[in-house]
Structure 1
């Protein structure tokens, strides 16, 4: 085995070319090829980055650069975000890299998201994930350099992939883009029926995202949920004339 094509490494606003180059290098060491960079605060393909990439300049040059995290995750069926701190207000499952690796490898396309060197990921960015990944460290000095954190996670992914016994239940996983479309539609309808209010919608939808994110819904299950939301929407529009035998056939 030479590559792990199913896993994408996503960097959000990296600030240092040395880190980006070092990440490209360790990705190639561990068979990862997909590097996405969101709104870089440095030149991710500059001379310093290329120098630190050494023989992984191909990974660096093929890296996709975008100004949107949603774009970087659009076709991913499973998304984990890394954290270096406790996130008490997000009810997302927390994994070590070793626990997360088989789950990321179990779907056709997954992503592991890393935040800024100085302040990590925002809560809004973390809410895009199905789960969180935290590297266990000694309490005396828990902070890891960005490239070091990526290296630890890439190593665990490679080790898991090399272990033929490492499996995780998989179904027809839903893409991030399709799941996001469902959440947007659900929020719109819940606002319309008064279950959500504009000033609290974001926090309550975060709980819904967390609930469904932990369930790893399949594409068919999301289609079922969206069908339910469409039916509610239809019922609202025809509330004045509706009767038990006027529902559209399913």
Structure 2
């Protein structure tokens, strides 16, 4: 069961960053991605808090945007406290991480300490994970939230069958032939951008409604578990529609 990436978006606190590295090493995770970090991952504060996990900070991959950090991932789950659920599937750590474990490449995404993840950032993921906490004080420290998810992942590794009662029969059947052959997120995102351009061109959506409508299409296609060949077919159809409208 390959470990997921831990992706941190615009982390501001060096101490938080070091603490995340430490808890990742505690539970055997090593792949850390930083999206536009607002602090120095190799500062004295970060290194001090990482203790014996300095190599995780040193090897962390730095990118400018969340889509870059998700390149190559087949599934991604966003973490959030209070959110407007809308049409996005909201899950808990056991169910959400069991869902991630069905594929070869995955990611858990955490937002900035002061604001969490924006709606636009969440849209790059297929599910939202919420950690059950006291509703009177639901805000978790970044490293604490990462630690909860890493711990839950460790439980899955120790007992892969423990999640069978959390997934549907279809999902269990898919697990038997895991990893599932899913298209990577960058291909899915390219398909969404192409779809939006075509829908705008034919007048099905307008600039002020496009984002809302596209969220519904995202939900449909994300539930479909599209393979690389299926995404290629859909993009071929969109190219043909685009060509036909020019004729």
Please, what TM-score do these two structures have when normalized by structure 2? 0.89
CA contact (8 A) 2:11 2:39 kept: yes
Q: Over alpha carbons, which structure has the higher Rg?
A: 1
Report the alpha carbon displacement of residue 207 of structure 1 after superposing the two structures with TM: 1.9
CA contact (8 A) 1:17 1:46 kept: yes
2:217 to 194, 197, 208: 208
Report the alpha carbon displacement of residue 237 of structure 1 after superposing the two structures with TM: 3.2
**Pair 1:145-2:141 in alignment:** yes
**Pair 1:121-2:117 in alignment:** yes
CA contact (8 A) 1:24 1:60 kept: yes
Which residue of structure 2 aligns with residue 107 of structure 1?
A: 103
Which residue of structure 2 aligns with residue 71 of structure 1?
A: 68
Which residue of structure 2 aligns with residue 20 of structure 1?
A: 17
CA contact (8 A) 1:127 1:210 kept: no
1:29 to 19, 26, 45: 26
Higher helix share: 2
Gaps of 5+ in 1: 239-250
Q: How does 1:45-194 map to 2 (within 5 A)?
A: 45-88=42-85, 90-165=86-161, 166=163, 168=171, 169=174, 170=178, 171-194=180-203
CA contact (8 A) 1:93 1:214 kept: no
Q: RMSD of the TM alignment (CA)?
A: 1.6
Report the alpha carbon displacement of residue 190 of structure 1 after superposing the two structures with TM: 1.2
How many residue pairs match? The answer is 234
Deviations 1:131-173 (A, max 9, x none): 0000001222211111100000011111112213246535311
Which residue of structure 1 aligns with residue 167 of structure 2?
A: none
Gaps of 5+ in 2: 165-170
Report the alpha carbon displacement of residue 5 of structure 1 after superposing the two structures with TM: 4.3
Please, what TM-score do these two structures have when normalized by structure 1? 0.88
Deviations 1:154-200 (A, max 9, x none): 11111112213246535311111100111111111111111121222
